[in-house]
């Protein structure tokens, strides 16, 4: 889908420097990463091609975010299984995807050269929430859009799209993407973070973290939330960033666990380990303070422990959202998008 002015969909400016994957080569897409009765369908947007992409696979979504796609949250909630599959097809010429419950439409597209990628997800047999389909007659790629929002449907029709009725049905409406703001009140409890960590198969390094004052993941997330709240930084930003930087506390890069450095502060590659901190709380406090340096011009509440705080002094407030951290905190321009993707996953996590 190409964003039209005035739509309720978040606009994304195209950037020529983004390396975007237009098509995925999966022959059979993963249907789910959980065993529950429903699945949050991830919605992503490619600012170069204008395509919206939908997937039940959070790993696939994260992979696309790392390539520059914008994560727009959960499009809708699909049933784990039903009598009506939604087929996923890929056009190798235009580089976009299409989705349909119609076997006839699927077969016609395959005859025209589209690749059949199997069942992407399922339509709800209860038909409680309609997923509406719109078509952009002017688009060369990403010509279809799917949404549960009647307002989005109407805005697109007013912008010249064709309304094509109900595509399939959802169990419930989805949740839009988080805004990515670094400063603010957290929406996530420390208990939820700890539960999510365990659900991801995280192995908590008890022996080392206990020496630093956090014997369990629950202790770790409690301290993290306390430090974030003290400076007005959203705890979910701190947690998701630390999981990216440490590989879910497995490390393996230049930083070692004994540093209590959860954000790669001072790490520049080629074996440079960066800053060392006395314990878990000090390491998390430094991370929070460095985030505040980028996102706000307000003074610190706690005594400064971030050794690189002064390096941001002249450009304080330059990065109010995680998206602005790309090219600043890390070299990668998609760094912030990776954090936002995890934030969305955490927000949609069902404990």
Question: Domain segments of the chain: what residues?
Answer: 38-176, 190-348
- Does an H or E element contain 343, and which? helix 335-348
Bridge partners of residue 52, in order along the sequence:
45
**pLDDT > 80? residue 142:** no
Residue scoring higher pLDDT (308 or 12): 308
Give the residue, 256 or 3, on which the prediction is more confident. Answer: 256
Helix (H, G, I), strand (E, B) or coil at 200: coil
Least confident of 174-183, 246-255, 271-280, 322-331: 174-183
Nearest to 45 by CA among 329, 349, 344, 259: 344
Q: Among 17-21, 70-74, 347-351, where is mean pLDDT lowest? A: 17-21
Residue bearing tokens 């949050």: 40
pLDDT in tens, 265-276: 998 778 788 999
pLDDT reported for residue 67: 87
In this prediction, residues 326-342 reach a mean pLDDT of 87
Strands 162-170 and 129-135: antiparallel
Q: What per-residue confidence (pLDDT) applies to 139?
A: 82
User: How confident is residue 295, by pLDDT bands cut at 50, 70 and 90?
Assistant: very high
Rounded CA-CA distance 327/315 in Å is 14
**Type and span of the H or E element at 163:** strand 162-170
Strands 162-170 and 52-55: unpaired
pLDDT of residue 20: 41
Q: How does residue 123 score in pLDDT terms, banded at 50, 70 and 90?
A: very high
Phi, psi of 164 (to 5 degrees): -115, 20
Count of CB atoms situated within 10 Å of the CB of 12: 16
d(CA 187, CA 167): 33
The pLDDT value recorded for residue 16 is: 30
Mean pLDDT within 19-27: 41
pLDDT at 43: 92
- pLDDT at res. 7: 29
Q: What is the pLDDT, as a whole number, of residue 241?
A: 97
Residue 66's pLDDT is 84
Residue 29 pLDDT: 57
Residue 13 pLDDT exceeds 60? no
Evaluate if residue 110 carries a pLDDT over 60.
Answer: yes
Q: How high is the pLDDT of residue 53? A: 95
Q: Alpha helices, DSSP H only, in 200-314?
A: 206-211, 217-231, 235-246, 280-295
Bigger pLDDT: 269 vs 320 = 320
Return the percentage of the chain with pLDDT > 70, whole number: 89
When pLDDT is cut at 50, 70 and 90, the band that residue 316 belongs to is very high
Mean of the pLDDT values across residues 140-145?
Answer: 80
Task: Please state the rounded mean pLDDT for residues 20-40.
Answer: 53
Confidence of residue 50 (pLDDT cuts 50, 70, 90): confident
Q: What is the pLDDT of residue 181?
A: 93
Task: List Cα–Cα distances, 225 to 215, 219, 222, 234, 323, in angstroms.
Answer: 16, 10, 5, 8, 21
- pLDDT at position 245 is 94
In whole angstroms, what is the distance from residue 123 CA to residue 88 CA?
13
Centroid of chain to Cα 272? 29
Asked if the model's pLDDT at residue 342 lies above 60, the reply is yes
Q: Confidence class of residue 340 from pLDDT cuts 50, 70 and 90?
A: confident
- Does the domain at 190-348 match CATH 2.60.120.10? Answer given as no
Per-residue pLDDT averaged across 221-245, rounded?
A: 97
């Amino acid at each position: 889908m190409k964003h039209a002015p005035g739509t309720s969909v978040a606009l994304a400016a195209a950037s020529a420097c983004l390396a975007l994957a237009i098509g995925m080569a999966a022959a059979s897409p993963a249907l789910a990463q959980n065993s529950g009765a429903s699945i949050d369908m991830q919605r992503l947007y490619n600012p170069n091609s204008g395509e919206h992409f939908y997937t039940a696979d959070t790993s696939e979504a994260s992979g696309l975010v790392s390539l520059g796609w914008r994560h727009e949250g959960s499009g809708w909630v699909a049933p784990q299984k039903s009598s009506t599959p939604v087929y996923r097809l890929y056009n190798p010429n235009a580089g976009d995807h299409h989705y349909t419950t119609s076997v006839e439409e699927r077969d016609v597209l395959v005859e025209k050269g589209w690749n059949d990628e199997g069942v992407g997800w399922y339509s709800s047999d209860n038909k409680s929430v309609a997923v509406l389909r719109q078509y952009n007659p002017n688009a060369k790629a990403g010509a279809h859009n799917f949404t549960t929002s009647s307002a989005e449907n109407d805005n697109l029709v007013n912008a010249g799209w064709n309304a094509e009725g109900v595509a399939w049905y959802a169990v419930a409406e989805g949740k839009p993407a988080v805004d990515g703001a670094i400063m603010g009140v957290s929406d996530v409890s420390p208990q939820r973070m700890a539960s999510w960590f365990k659900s991801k198969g995280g192995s908590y390094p008890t022996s080392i973290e206990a020496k630093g004052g956090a014997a369990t993941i629950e202790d770790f997330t409690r301290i993290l939330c306390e430090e974030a709240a003290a400076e007005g930084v959203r705890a979910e930003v701190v947690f998701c960033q630390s999981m990216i930087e440490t590989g879910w506390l497995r490390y393996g890069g230049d930083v070692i666990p004994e540093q209590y450095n959860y954000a790669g502060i001072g790490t520049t590659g080629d074996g440079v380990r960066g800053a060392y901190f006395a314990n878990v709380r000090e390491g998390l406090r430094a991370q929070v303070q460095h985030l505040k340096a980028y996102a706000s011009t307000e003074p610190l509440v706690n005594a400064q422990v971030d050794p690189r705080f002064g390096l941001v002094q002249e450009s304080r407030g330059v990065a109010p959202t995680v998206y602005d951290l790309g090219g600043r905190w890390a070299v990668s321009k998609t760094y912030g998008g990776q954090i936002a993707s995890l934030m969305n996953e955490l927000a949609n996590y069902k404990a």
